[in-house]
Structure 1
């Protein structure tokens, strides 16, 4: 099919219209840009949900080891890492696909299952790539909005799943809002999945959930529905800069096709070595998660004391109604206080901010700045 040239395409080029029309991904601001805009050197980076405690010392030791040879190609099959994950998750290594972050797995799923005219389902507010990657494949994206109580609309999801989308992307814990599906809610979603739909449960924030929260891999394994569970080393394990995530598939054939849909040598040698070291020191990760959960509750209590409406969270961030334009609040936080947060841009949610749980000092700085902003707004009113 021939498509007309884009109005902005140079030299008579014809861009893929599905890609040319994609919305930009709402990425967190780079720290050097933040320093230039604010004039401050000490920046609190609370926009990208990184682990403020860093990563296990074992990771740094592995990266400094003579066994890491950056002049050699990495194992394209991620054999050792897939074996370690399979052992940890009690599954077959043939069901595991490792990606350049779980974002690459989202793109591979869209590429492998979606064609022009297909339908993908997600929620809103959404993780941007759950919409962007299906749109790039030419698919229609159907979105189910959160409830007025800032939670999952289970009835809406059941109705949308009954229509048989080719792929359903669902985050639990939910980025950017924060809550997680409990056991009963997850079973309702599973029961609504029809043959021909791939359920993609994005558990990028799984490790931050309170003890007793559903383990999607275990629950879905017994469900009989076609599924992929996504997880990442970027958040809890502190490897955001190395980009390594993975997909656990219900059937080896799904894994085979996802592997075909990604690039070879997609996960570099440093990322593979770091991920293996992180898995070998999960005690560090679990201790870090305990501290961050406690800090999350402290900050949520503090924000509510300021009169802010805060969504329940099982993640390392909080999603709250700023009471005014989130873009204006985020700009003030940056320029006057040196704090980066993420102002939400999706239509209908322009008053919401997503703020990462940082160090206790960074969190105190955020709460004090928000108190000052709210006081100034009351005086102006």
Structure 2
């Protein structure tokens, strides 16, 4: 028997991240080879053909180290976003940026505020640093509780973690709501504004955090990703746009060197350059999002208003049981396991045939309960 090891107590008590089931695990569990993958909010259209062309063997030198500063990609992003490249930090997915900013900005005993249900890493990474996380529940109509958010801000947390559009629920903060938050936030609080689903928001509902926050004097970090609308989930490219060089440099120092591999940097540049493909893919997803939401309503479900590529709704029983039964039909969805929300499902919007497969399976479950 080995001697006991002394572990970081903040790490030992962390909840596990609720990752979507892999295709291999789903095939083994369901017995189906054809699987509708509607759990992890991946883009069913894949990625731009320009990405695949850029990743052809003649375009890569995998034996070479990648640029640790991601300079070419940062310059392209700075032009796309009309911001200075020194304010941008690129990461191995925006998840790495959440971890790095938590290491850079938090100390044991600091307080962080976020919403509930939340993206798991908005809680896990701050708690790993010994911070206390206060979660503000959504309203009964599945919306942001703005008065409660403002009340939490009055206590001056070190970080306010907000995702808009909101993962896992779906709505986006309105301009008025964000203005109210900005009026209440103090210089002691850093706003972490997670816009992983920014591109999926309808034009009328879209709040551009990069442009809006640049006109303020608060400290902030805006997070965006190539995983969703650009279809690069497997290559892991995300980035942080920071209010100032001091914050950006701290995050840069907290990440690992060579954190974004050469294939990922190449693919992100190609994806960013093909805006037409991304916008066409987003338009298809928006149309299917509306169709699936109406079908769910016809079945008696009440999905939250969504500005994302997924829908979130109460399924009136334990969501893990529903997800297991859907898996038997070859459909992967994500049961939400956060305390207080275990009867909610989050389903990704896929291609029409995948969505039809989901709806048919859900109808059969609903009929079987009658």
Equivalent in the alignment of 1:106 = 98
* Alpha-carbon distance in structure 1 between the residues aligned to 2:297 and 2:341: 19
Equivalent in the alignment of 2:13 = 21
Q: Is structure 2 residue 298 aligned with structure 1 residue 334?
A: no
Q: Is structure 2 residue 301 aligned with structure 1 residue 312?
A: no
Q: Secondary structure at the match of 2:42?
A: coil
Q: Is structure 2 residue 152 aligned with structure 1 residue 178?
A: no
Which of 146, 149, 157 matches 1:165? 157
Note the alpha carbon deviations across 1:282-316, whole angstroms, 9 max, x for none: 11001111111011000000000000011000000
Q: How does 1:58-97 map to 2 (within 5 A)?
A: 58-97=50-89
Equivalent in the alignment of 1:250 = 243
* Alpha-carbon distance in structure 2 between the residues aligned to 1:317 and 1:189: 26
Equivalent in the alignment of 1:289 = 282
Equivalent in the alignment of 2:209 = 216
Equivalent in the alignment of 1:231 = 224
Note the alpha carbon deviations across 1:232-262, whole angstroms, 9 max, x for none: 0000000000000000001011100000000
Q: Is structure 2 residue 183 aligned with structure 1 residue 191?
A: yes
Q: Is structure 2 residue 277 aligned with structure 1 residue 274?
A: no
Q: Secondary structure at the match of 2:247?
A: helix
Measured after TM superposition, the shift of residue 65 of structure 1 is 4.8
Which of 351, 354, 372 matches 2:346? 354
* Alpha-carbon distance in structure 1 between the residues aligned to 2:285 and 2:54: 25
* Alpha-carbon distance in structure 2 between the residues aligned to 1:364 and 1:72: 45
Equivalent in the alignment of 1:375 = 367
Measured after TM superposition, the shift of residue 11 of structure 1 is 2.4
Equivalent in the alignment of 1:6 = none
Normalised to the residue count of structure 2, the TM-score between the two structures is 0.99
Measured after TM superposition, the shift of residue 67 of structure 1 is 3.1
Equivalent in the alignment of 1:262 = 255
Which of 112, 118, 128 matches 1:136? 128
Measured after TM superposition, the shift of residue 164 of structure 1 is 0.5
How many residue pairs match? The answer is: 369
Measured after TM superposition, the shift of residue 10 of structure 1 is 5.3
Note the alpha carbon deviations across 1:142-168, whole angstroms, 9 max, x for none: 110000010000000000011011011
Normalised to the residue count of structure 1, the TM-score between the two structures is 0.96
Query: Tell me, which stretches of 5 or more residues in structure 1 are unaligned?
Result: 1-8
* Alpha-carbon distance in structure 2 between the residues aligned to 1:11 and 1:88: 54
Equivalent in the alignment of 2:140 = 148
Note the alpha carbon deviations across 1:76-132, whole angstroms, 9 max, x for none: 000000000000000000000000000000001110111110011110000000000
Which portions of structure 1, spanning 4 or more consecutive aligned residues, are displaced by more than 6 angstroms?
none
* Alpha-carbon distance in structure 2 between the residues aligned to 1:296 and 1:168: 29
Q: Secondary structure at the match of 2:59?
A: coil
Equivalent in the alignment of 1:116 = 108
* Alpha-carbon distance in structure 2 between the residues aligned to 1:325 and 1:22: 23
* Alpha-carbon distance in structure 2 between the residues aligned to 1:43 and 1:260: 41
Query: Tell me, which stretches of 5 or more residues in structure 2 are unaligned?
Result: none
Equivalent in the alignment of 1:3 = none
